Copies of this chain bind each other. A is one copy, B any other.
């Protein structure tokens, strides 16, 4: 059996009891560690499980999935995923591959940012499509997600923006020279995301993410050090959210009064928050 197990958002105790039971009866345990991270390292998981945990990097999952699946028709193998198993497309690939090999698969769900973002005070059913913001480089500054945000914006819906994670990336030089030297991991901050959004707005001028548009920066949702700050994009530009992972919610104009009341608790400046809510949101 292949168990695909969500670990939730924070530490080793966010696994479900059902998930932990599956881990305990597995002969091999893999941890997918390139689409998200826990607040703890694999050593802590290993001591909690009393078992070895193998880090599965992108290359292993995408190109060598059969090694993960080896013998899984006869023994139990656990594939651990931060958040929920269906949060990233690569896990879907693994499930499809297991099916092809007639390996039974059991998915054990958990919280992911896709539902835990409700902690920011906005209702989940008022969110439109989710978008991802990637790191700009000097030569690559993609802005197609602006069109997706605009689609939500026109409907008055909120947008959850997932922020880029770069783990085990090679520099262009090292890649060109075939050197397996990896850059330190990078996690996009709310500040960087806001900066990029404002740059795109400056170019496109379609009024989708203006300096005084309301947004909610979220850091380490579901952990004890969770930090949520609501304010204008301009205000969020300089708020220190601390360590990863961050995400950003752009507030849609259909925001209800009850949502606004909850979000206000997180406002950077409650007074200006209220003024802007009354002027541009909640009708």
Query: What is the interface of chain A, defined by CB distance below 8 A to chain B?
Result: 6, 8-18, 20-21, 84-87, 89, 92-93, 95-96, 99, 107, 109-112, 114-116, 118-119, 121, 123-132, 151, 155, 157, 162, 222, 258, 261-262, 265
A142 to chain B, nearest CB (A): 16
Q: Which residues of B contact A95 (CB under 8 A)?
A: 262
Tell me if B129 and A86 are in contact (CB < 8 A): no
A76 to chain B, nearest CB (A): 16
Q: Identify 22 residue pairs between A and B in the complex whose beta-carbon atoms are under 8 Å apart, listed by A's number.
A: A8-B110, A9-B109, A13-B18, A15-B17, A17-B17, A84-B111, A84-B116, A86-B116, A86-B118, A86-B124, A95-B262, A109-B115, A109-B116, A109-B119, A110-B111, A111-B111, A114-B115, A125-B130, A125-B131, A127-B129, A128-B128, A129-B157
Q: Name the one of B16, B87, B121 contacting A110, with C-beta atoms under 8 angstroms.
A: B16
Q: Name the one of B15, B18, B99, B265 contacting A265, with C-beta atoms under 8 angstroms.
A: B99
User: Given A130-B125, A132-B125, A87 and B118 touching (CB < 8 A)?
Assistant: yes
Tell me if A114 and B124 are in contact (CB < 8 A): yes
| Closest B residue, CB atoms, query A99 | B265
Tell me if A115 and B87 are in contact (CB < 8 A): yes
Tell me if B132 and A129 are in contact (CB < 8 A): no
User: Given A157-B129, A262-B96, A109 and B111 touching (CB < 8 A)?
Assistant: yes
For the complex, what is the distance from the CA of A272 to the CA of B118, rounded to whole Å? Answer: 38
- For A13, A123, A127, A129, the residue with the greatest tally of chain B CB atoms inside 10 Å of its CB is A129
Tell me if B9 and A17 are in contact (CB < 8 A): no
